[in-house]
A and B are shown apart, each in its own frame.
Chain A
């Protein structure tokens, strides 16, 4: 049946296994696993944005304010600037990692973490002002999904800020061991993914909320 294949391979010299095992790619395996996890997180966001689409219908305002009445684009734009800047500076931290520069990695990560904190302060002021005006999640179906999305995104930023703090300590203590390096790459995937998600939040929650 497989005569043609058998003729080509001389059993006496056939290589049935790799004699020089290249090594388990621990870093690549773990970053890929984490990337799959981030994509499932994106599915949660997809469900939230589907809910936003459904609950943006006028019947779900339930007599409450429409988004164009209370959205303050200044805060949303400030969050955009700080988050994109933070992502850029975290990218420079990864360039420092490529060059084996300890102080570069820690310094850039510290700046990225501070910008993440500025983001959280702006988001906190924004949410507090809305609450002070009586714009609260339980007022209507639309406001429920509105606050769910922006608070869910802010929770991700909190996780990222804490994670950066942990990684700065780990880099200072362990240097660039394989474990620290894969965690830095995972944090890069996580943090840069938040910028992509923010593009959707900014556009579909804030900008289009101001128009409709």
Chain B
């Protein structure tokens, strides 16, 4: 830790730059996003299947970019960046997941669905009339 006080270029966060890792990240990211775009354009899967697969592809690209270009690893220079990111993950899950879950229920109970909306079928039957599954 002493040597980089002399020359800032010796700082570990400068030295971790890696051109080959950036190129790998670029190629893999382009391949996976192109695959997602192709799925969305050609409609070869069901809409739900396309949502599922493109979400999975996005997750894969984020992991690849996180490792290769944001250097999210457990090396001495980067461990606290990684720890901070991991501690934020539950916040993302809570913010997006709980909001979506709450409003999903809220819409079914409070909104007049336009004709043709898929939730109509469930809304027409009170819960006690449903057959147990």
Residues of A within 8 A of B (CB): 20, 22-23, 25, 27-28, 31-32, 35-36, 39, 42-43, 46-47, 49-51, 53-54, 57-59, 73, 76-77, 80-81, 84-85, 87-88, 91-92, 94-95, 97-98, 100, 176-178, 180-182, 185, 189, 192-193, 195-196, 199-200, 202-204, 207-208, 210-212
Choose one: B18, B50, B70, B91; the contact of A211 (CB below 8 Å). B50
B17 within 8 A of A: yes
Q: A87-B26, A196-B66, A212-B51 are in contact. Are A46 and B91 (CB under 8 A)?
A: yes
Whole-angstrom CA separation of A36 from B29 in the bound complex: 25
* 18 pairs from A and B in contact (CB 8 Å cutoff): A20-B2, A25-B4, A27-B14, A35-B81, A43-B88, A43-B95, A47-B95, A59-B114, A59-B117, A73-B40, A94-B14, A97-B14, A180-B8, A200-B62, A210-B40, A211-B43, A211-B54, A212-B51
Chain B residues with CB under 8 Å of A203's CB are: 33, 36, 54-55, 57-58
B83-120: CB near A (< 8 Å → 1, else 0) gives 01100100110011001100100010001111001000
Q: Which residues of A contact B15 (CB under 8 A)?
A: 98
Q: In which size bucket is the chain B interface?
A: 35 or more
> Closest residue to B36 on the A side, CB-wise?
A207
Query: How many Cβ-Cβ contacts under 8 Å join chain A to chain B?
Result: 172
Which residues of B line the A interface, CB within 8 A?
Answer: 1-2, 4-5, 8-9, 11-15, 17-19, 22-23, 25-26, 29-30, 33-34, 36-37, 39-41, 43, 47, 50-51, 54-55, 57-58, 61-62, 65-66, 69-70, 77, 80-81, 84-85, 88, 91-92, 95-96, 99-100, 103, 107, 111-114, 117
Nearest chain A residue, comparing its CB with the CB of B80: A32
Contact check, A84 vs B26: say whether CB atoms are below 8 A apart: yes
Contacts of A20 in B (CB 8 A): 2
Q: Which residues of A contact B23 (CB under 8 A)?
A: 88
Chain A residues near B95 (CB-CB < 8 A): 43, 46-47, 50
